Structure 1
Amino acid sequence: MAAMKYFTIPPSADLARYVRFFWVLEHDLADSEPYFHRTMADGCAEMVFHFKGVFDEILRSNETERSFRSGIHGQSRSFRRFVIGQDFGIMGVYLYPYAIPALFGISAAELSNQMPDLTTFLGREGAELEERVMLAGDHARRVGIISDFLRKCIRSRDVHEPAVFSVIGSVIRSNGLARIPDLAAQSFLSTRQFERKFLAFSGFSPKLFSRIIRFHSALNEYGNKEKSLTEIAYECGYYDQSHFIHDFKAFSGEHPKTYFSGEAEGMGYRDV
């Protein structure tokens, strides 16, 4: 196989509240073997632009259907599988969960486990954005076009930041280990109000969101040959290895042993 390229690009300072980073994944298929890609459960949504090639999604029935050229991958509690038989290039915009209500004016919960194409999600503006990104000559221009679009979204909405924004940030920074009652107290809301607001701005209940963020802290240990699975499980806050394996399989479709061995499907970019 030809070399795969994966890299991230930081957002400009004025977008850093909403955008965690931009990412690019490119691959030239040197042979006729198709490339399989897998997305895993994620507490954050992302905008995705396929500027070269379009994937087919492999459904649970093992049938395939054409995926979008560009769209929004909402925060998700499970994995999806995709396949392509040609060279491809993807740019992603990895967002904080509360960016969905702040930038687009809808509850994050409406996007949970959804993958609408950009035109369905944003109408004519979405179609125009897709066309401009596809015609851009390089990654810097793509980032510039998307950044200008997001700035326009911010200007067109009176974005106020409720306390729950910083609470969601706290969960992410603590790798899902922050205590929910402490977070509710921090936001000066009753537990019920807190859970309702958290769902609207993150797309998930505080408990499920924390589990997914904790799972991601384990994913990020990929390549760390110094630690055993048991050590990774305990350091990431799992009570025991069986809880770790259960969550890992539910959120990725893989056993952690397969993932950390480097044999998991669609994880080639982790080695880049």
Structure 2
Amino acid sequence: MFATFPPPPQLSGYVRMFWVFEHEVPAGEAYVYRSMADGCAELIFHYRNRFAPLTGTEGAGFSHLHAQTSRHSRFLTHGSFGIFGAYLYPTAVPALFGHSSAIVANCMPDLQSIMGRSGIDLEERIITARYHHQRVEILSEYLISLLRQRKQEASAVQIAVRSILAADGMVNISELASSVSLSTRQFERNFKSAAGFTPKLFTRIIRFHRALNAYGAFDGNLAGLAYECGYYDQSHFIHDFREFSGYLPREYFMGRPEGIEYRE
């Protein structure tokens, strides 16, 4: 079961959605989940069972910040599980927690590391909540309290990130910098600090996610899919897809990838 919940209006510029992923694993079997490269960060809470990392990352706690990442990782669990998460805009990391996105990119710090003692209390409240709507309320109240402390207004990079996501990564970086009244160099520097990656890498990852969303509807036309996702040729598409997922496109779309249940 995979379900999503919208954030309250106060968080709409920072949280894309809240989500729940539950899956029943047959007794004695293992379940492997593959996390793809993602330009956005997530707050993760394992309220039933937990995953241990197999590759590409560290940490195996019950809760953590899964910061934006430019690589795929694999996680293993034995037994049925339940996970609650908040899918964040990348600029939410400095806005909410006061940490540069560039510093935490490709990392998975535990909540105490980024929130202090309140992170421990938050973890306990989320994990012990009986219902999903309670988890949404608890985390929403906590994040809103952080925003009130910092009182940040929308920045040029926040506006640019929303534009890139809305366009599925198919934007001109120079034109985007000009639209927010910054030179290309200023824009790239500010963007990396606030969003974790250079604008070029971020847009590549977002285009890759446009391709991922074709799962279940891929008709076998790889060249058409590459063009639809903003690639000039198949070779660049195949290169990015393999770098960010660990799969060749046909392996992913024509086979049964790891941890795909939430898309079905």
AA partner of residue 53 (structure 1): N
Q: Name which of 169, 180, 185 aligns with 1:176.
A: 169
Mapped to 1, the partners of 2:37 and 2:94 lie a distance apart of 20
Q: Is the 8 A contact 1:45 1:96 kept in 2?
A: yes
Q: Is the CA contact 2:177–2:184 (under 8 Å) kept in the aligned structure 1?
A: yes
Decide whether the 8 Å contact of 1:233 with 1:240 is kept in 2.
yes
The 1:262–1:13 alpha-carbon spacing in structure 2 relative to 1, beyond 3 Å, is: farther
- For 1:190, which of 183, 186, 190 is the aligned residue? 183
| 1:238 paired to 2:231 | yes
Between the aligned partners of 1:80 and 1:230, the Cα distance in structure 2 is 27
SS at structure 1 position matched to 2:83: strand
Q: Using the TM superposition, give the Cα deviation of residue 8 of structure 1 relative to its aligned residue in structure 2, in angstroms.
A: 1.1
Question: Taking every aligned residue pair, what percent have the same amino acid on both sides?
Answer: 49
Structure 2 portions without partners, runs of 5+: none
Equivalent residue letter for 2:236: H
Give, as a single letter, the amino acid of the residue that structure 2 aligns with 1:268: E
The amino acid of 1:136's aligned partner reads A
The one of 2, 7, 18 equivalent to 1:6 is 2
Residue type of the partner of 1:23?
W
TM-score (norm 2): 0.96
Pairs within 5 Å for 1:206-245: 206-226=199-219, 228-245=221-238
In structure 1, the gaps of 5 or more residues are none
Using the alignment, how far apart are the partners of 1:54 and 1:143 within structure 2? 20
Give me the whole-angstrom Cα distance separating, in 1, the residues matched to 2:173 and 2:220: 29
Q: 1:108 aligns with which of 88, 97, 101?
A: 101
Q: Name the CA distance, whole Å, in 1 between partners of 2:154 and 2:80.
A: 41
Q: 1:225 to 1:205 in 2, by over 3 A?
A: closer
Question: Would the alpha carbon gap of residues 113 and 244 (structure 1) be closer, same or farther in structure 2, given more than 3 Å must change?
Answer: same
What is residue 203 of structure 1 aligned with on the other side? 196
Deviation at 1:225, TM superposition (A): 3.8
- Aligned structure 1 segments of 4 or more residues deviating by more than 4 angstroms: none
Check the 8 A contact 1:54/1:66 in 2, yes or no: no
User: For 2:84 and 2:16, how far apart are their aligned partners in 1?
Assistant: 14
Confirm whether residue 96 of structure 1 aligns to residue 89 of structure 2: yes
> Residues 225 and 199 (structure 1 numbering): CA distance in 2 closer, same or farther, change over 3 Å?
closer
> Structure 1, residues 178-218: CA drift from partner, whole Å, max 9, x if none?
10010111111111111111111110001000000000011
CA displacement, residues 122-181 of structure 1 (integer Å, 9 cap, x when unaligned): 110100000111111110101110000000011010212222211111111111111001
How well do the aligned residues superpose, as a CA RMSD in angstroms? 1.4
Residue 58 and residue 247 in structure 1: after superposition, are their counterparts in 2 closer, same or farther (change >3 A)? same
- Equivalent of 1:46 in 42, 48, 51: 42
**Aligned-pair CA distance for 1:262:** 4.2
Amino acid at match of 1:150: L
- Out of 144, 149, 170, which is 2:137 matched to? 144
